């Protein structure tokens, strides 16, 4: 599915100018939000009216990000390793104590380690799979019961086109993202009867500091704001339907 073109220099007004503040009463949690795609998503959700909790592993960078975002709306920064269940529980507790029940979860935390499988270590495998897949399980599990009690919620998992396509050197990363696609699809079926929408966004190459398989040409890559636009589109769709997957590609190859 292809979203409408966005002028990334003015992304923050792309939805709010059309529909007021559609997320005014929402509380969002965005993981991996101290930079790149996560930061762009958090910024867009604040502009749409949501109160946003962000997390990351680097307290200093997270503090700087929160200071930037706080000029636009209400934000809570909480340092956490989302591969650890105890820290996830503390994160969710802090967000809900500050803002109230979480109605939007964006699982964005992710890393990439690339190279032939025979050259990667068990530690590499654990780092990639824990960050890209286990964290989604842990954070989702922590917020789903509350969403079920309220009969509504949105969970958006930031995946990758690597979850659909294989490439040399991508064994660990592709394994994590293919697994994420399966997890997302099953969660969607488990939760749709409870009024909870679960979707994945699969970007192609994005111009960020993320360690990819090769350098990115900014003219032939997505901007983080393009991914944020797709997330906003999912959150502002009509309530009786849900888009289960968005594949997002740069216009220029």
Q: What spatial distance separates the first Cα and last Cα of the chain, rounded to whole Å? A: 17
Under 8 Å between Cβ of 243 and 26:
no
- Residue 14: its H or E element: none
227 is catalytic: no
User: Quick one: tokens of 158?
Assistant: 């930031």
Using CA atoms of 80, 84, 85, 91 in order, give the dihedral in degrees to the nearest 10.
0
Residue 77's beta-bridge partner residues? 54
The DSSP-derived string for 149-200 is: HHT-EEEEEE--GGGT---TT-HHHHHHHHHHHHHHHHHHHHHGGGTEEEEE
Catalytic residue among 173, 212, 228, 231: 173
Q: Residue 244, exposed/middle/buried by CB under 10 A (0-12, 13-18, 19+)?
A: middle
Strand order from edge to edge, sheet including 27-30: 75-79, 51-56, 27-30, 104-107, 153-158, 196-203, 245-248
**What is the C-alpha separation between 29 and 53, in angstroms, rounded?**
5
Q: Percent helix, strand and coil across the chain, each rounded to 5?
A: 50, 15, 35
Quick one: which H or E segment has residue 53? strand 51-56
Active-site positions read: 173
């Amino acid at each position: 599915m292809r979203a409408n073109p966005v002028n990334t220099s003015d992304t923050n007004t792309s939805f709010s100018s059309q529909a007021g503040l559609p997320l005014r009463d929402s509380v969002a949690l965005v993981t991996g939000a101290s930079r790149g795609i996560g930061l762009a998503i958090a910024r867009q959700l604040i502009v749409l009216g949501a109160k946003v909790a962000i997390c990351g592993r680097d307290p200093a960078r997270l503090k700087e990000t929160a200071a930037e975002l706080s000029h636009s709306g209400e934000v809570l920064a909480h340092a956490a390793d989302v591969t650890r269940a105890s820290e996830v529980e503390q994160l969710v507790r802090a967000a809900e104590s500050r803002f109230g029940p979480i109605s939007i979860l964006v699982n964005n935390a992710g890393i990439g380690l690339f190279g032939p499988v025979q050259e990667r270590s068990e530690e590499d495998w654990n780092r990639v799979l824990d960050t890209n897949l286990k964290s989604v399980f842990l954070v989702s599990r922590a917020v789903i019961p509350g969403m079920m009690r309220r009969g509504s919620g949105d969970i958006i998992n930031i995946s990758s086109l690597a979850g659909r396509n294989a490439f040399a050197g991508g064994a660990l990363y592709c394994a994590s993202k293919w697994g994420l696609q399966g997890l997302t699809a099953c969660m969607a079926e488990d939760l749709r009867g409870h009024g909870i929408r679960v979707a994945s966004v699969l970007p192609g190459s994005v111009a960020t500091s993320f360690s990819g398989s090769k350098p990115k040409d900014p003219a032939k890559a997505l901007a983080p704001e393009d991914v944020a636009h797709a997330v906003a589109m999912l959150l502002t769709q009509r309530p009786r339907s849900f888009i289960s997957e968005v594949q997002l590609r740069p216009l220029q190859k």
